[in-house]
Amino acid sequence: MRVALITGCSSGFGLLSALAFARRGNKVYATMRDLSKDGDLQSITNSEQLPIIILKLDVTDDHSVKQAVSKVLDKEGRIDVLVNNAGMGCLGSVEFLSDTMLRTAFETNFFGVIRMLRAVLPAMRAQGSGTIVNVSSIDGRIPGKPINWGYAASKHSLGVLSDALALEVEPFGIKVRQIEPGFFATKILTNRKLLEKENAAANDERSDVDSPYRKFEEAVRGFAEGNMQHSDDPQIVAEAIIEAVNTEAFFPVHYPVGEEANATLKEIATLDEEQQALSWKKMMGL
């Protein structure tokens, strides 16, 4: 029985991944920042009698990370799979995206992963095996686009980290996978909207309430929300994570997931920069 530690399990890819691992006989430590949101996962765990233990873990807090990882290691003595899934969206123009929102996105999407790695890697090196899964986005593989650049930048940074990490830990028998979904129906937009309200309440000096880029912002938000409503089943991503973990080879590191992700990669491979810009404007209705 493998021991899997997964972050961001209150909903979406994290919740589905926790269930997918547990239903295959793995011991799962499903973590989340706010334990009051464990209702769906706890209910399914109880009804199916799954080997899932829910823990509090905030990837932006050093003490929280160390405490949760220590609990798992004290109980199990090992961690075979780490899934860095916790993440958040971040939309706004370069000029007006709030500093608070941008820093929060990087703290969660990038530095949070680093905290988890530094807490778990010593145990994986000692046991001579393990698989690290970083859940990214296809936005981390493509040229930057207006309004979504902050989120994409955090995921581009994660991609560089994953590539470097894969080479660093291969000699210790540790595999690295980066999962890169396209549009899927998760709560990332809902969570992003909540953060925007918090930033507005904090009266951040870079609030985009009166942004001259409103046309771009409305187009991107509308496109994203429309795609979420007609996207693929997020269960596909959970299954892709399982497949990536079960693959014995150390490479490839990158796993694009979904029709939209693969179509996007194909497009950027065949269009020059000007063509990509025109394609984006057309897609946004601009």
| Residues acting as catalytic residues | 10, 136, 151, 155
139 residue type, one letter: D
With H, G, I as helix, E, B as strand and everything else as coil, classify residue 248.
coil
CB 154 within 8 A of CB 105: yes
CA angle at residue 157 from 275 to 271, to 5 degrees? 15
End-to-end CA, the chain: 52
Q: CA-CA distance, 90 to 68, in Å (whole number)?
A: 27
Half-sphere exposure of 242 (CA within 13 A, CB side): 18
Q: What are the C-alpha distances in Å from 51 to residues 19, 42, 136, 147?
A: 9, 11, 26, 41
CB crowding 19-29: b at 16 or more within 10 Å, else e: bbbbeeebbbb
Q: Tabulate helix, strand, coil % of the chain (nearest 5).
A: 55, 15, 30
Q: How many residues does the chain have?
A: 286
How far apart, in whole angstroms, are the C-alpha atoms of residue 125 and residue 128? 5
